Amino acid sequence: MTEPREVAPQARDLAGLDAAVSHCYACPRLVEWREEVGRVRRRSFADQAYWARAVPGFGPADASLLLVGLAPAAHGGNRTGRMFTGDRSGDVLVAALHELGLASQPTSTSSDDGLRLHGVRFTAPVHCAPPDNKPTTAERDTCRPWLVRELDLLRPTVRAVVALGAFGWQAVLPVLAGAGWTVPRPRPAFGHGARVLLEPVADGPALTLFGCYHVSQQNTFTGRLTPAMLRDVLAEAWQAAGGEPTRRHQG
């Protein structure tokens, strides 16, 4: 079976990388789960054909802001084939981006709904839906080369990264180091609103890493993460990426 560490470095652009990700079968447990979910389906989606494959990143190839989550939701991205699409997490995140002028519409329901992101890209350290939303350390590490290559390809334009949740934060730090940025020692701790400037190892741009509570229902339904809290982090990150978050982009 072909491993991501062999395939990912060969991707010449993000379109090629996304196509390669969608054909990944490297983790047997994740493949079995994503396909089982696609066969059994949730009752409310029983008439829909599930994507049930690895879910690539989504957003423009010249994004200056990268949002890193955890993994696709079983009945969200695993169903629709697009990150942060078809579930409550996507609803909250895209609504916040739209209010900041960084998304063309406030909803993210399906891969053909017309959503466009402006200067922002979604990705995750694990590209397959895991059982109980808990990928193993080995699965995270197997998937890591996809994210390393994604950062390599985004390097000319990306200036800020938002890690959504502690898992994303811990997963992205070694990725950033592998993609050419200096990570402080000891490694910075995750926290909502955390901000760390990472200098390049060689010639190139610096990058600012932000921490934000994940947009999961357990955070948004309990008020641990409010829409205002999310918008504040995204606005600060967009400014660090060189944008103007108060200016509306035209859809």
Which pLDDT band holds residue 248 (cuts at 50, 70, 90)?
A: very low
Which pLDDT band holds residue 85 (cuts at 50, 70, 90)?
A: very high
CA atoms of 217 and 210, how far apart (whole Å): 21
End-to-end CA distance of the chain: 42
CA atoms of 138 and 25, how far apart (whole Å): 14
Kindly report, residue by residue over 144-187, the tens digit of the pLDDT. 999 999 999 999 999 999 999 999 999 999 999 988 999 999 99
What pLDDT was estimated at residue 246?
A: 46
What is 4-240's CATH superfamily? Uracil-DNA glycosylase-like domain (3.40.470.10)
Q: Supply the mean pLDDT for the chain.
A: 94
Mean pLDDT for the stretch of residues 121-130: 98
SS3 of the chain: helix, strand, coil, percent, to 5: 40, 10, 50
State both tokens at 147: 């994210």
Q: Is 61 left (phi over 0), alpha (psi -120 to 50) or beta?
A: alpha
**Domain ranges (residues) in the chain:** 4-240
Which pLDDT band holds residue 203 (cuts at 50, 70, 90)?
A: confident
Kindly report, residue by residue over 14-59, the tens digit of the pLDDT. 999 999 999 999 999 999 999 999 999 999 999 999 999 999 999 9
Q: Are 148 and 178 in contact (CB under 8 A)?
A: yes
pTM for the full model? 0.95
Q: What single-letter DSSP state applies at residue 1? A: -
What pLDDT was estimated at residue 45?
A: 94
